[in-house]
Structures are given as C-alpha cells and as structure tokens.
Amino acid sequence: MKRWTLLLLTLSACGPISMETAERQCFDRARLAQQPRGEVILGMSSGGKTAAGIELDISSDYLLGRDPSEVFESCVMQKTGQMPSRSFMQMPGWKG
C-alpha cells in the first residue's frame, strides 16, 4: 500500500501546475532573460573583520539573446499546456 501512495505522489508532482503558479515561475525566468540579476554584500564584524560576497544570476536565455516575452510564453505553455492568461509586460512587477 505504501508503494502505491508513493507512486501516486510522485506522478502527481509531474502533472500540470496552475496558471498562476506557472506565470509566476515563468515571469522570474523571463526577467533573467531580460538582464542578469545580482547582489553585492559587504560587512564588518564587531571584531573588525571584514566580509564580502557577490551573487550573480545569468540565464542561458540571456546569453542566447532570447526575447523575454517569448521565454515567458513558451515556459507557461510547457508548464500548463495553455497560452498565458496575460503577456509578460502585463505581469505585476514588470518594469520596462
């Protein structure tokens, strides 16, 4: 019985996701196709020790010069099997 439950849970994870979830995930991917994202962290401890770090996210879509709108659309299609309910530029948080 436990094997069937595990199998059903595994298979359900492979199914389509909601349009809202897909659009949110794909919006993030399309934004990375638009331009890299990153942050620089600088700090100093009370003992006088310094620390620094950098995080940079660059997608292959950006390196290949793909249109962010096309990345968004194809990503949503892949995840849901449907066209997005709105365009990349209509998503909350989009800045041109």
Who's near 25: CB < 8 A, 6+ residues apart? 17, 75, 79
Judge whether 59 and 32 are in contact, CB under 8 Å.
yes
Q: Which residue from 74, 76, 62, 73 is spatially nearest to 21, judged by alpha carbons?
A: 76
pLDDT band at 56 (very low <50, low <70, confident <90, very high): very high
Given a cut of 90, is residue 9 above it in pLDDT?
A: no
Determine the average pLDDT of the residues in 58-64. 95
Segment 17-46, tens digit of pLDDT: 899 999 999 999 999 999 999 999 989 888
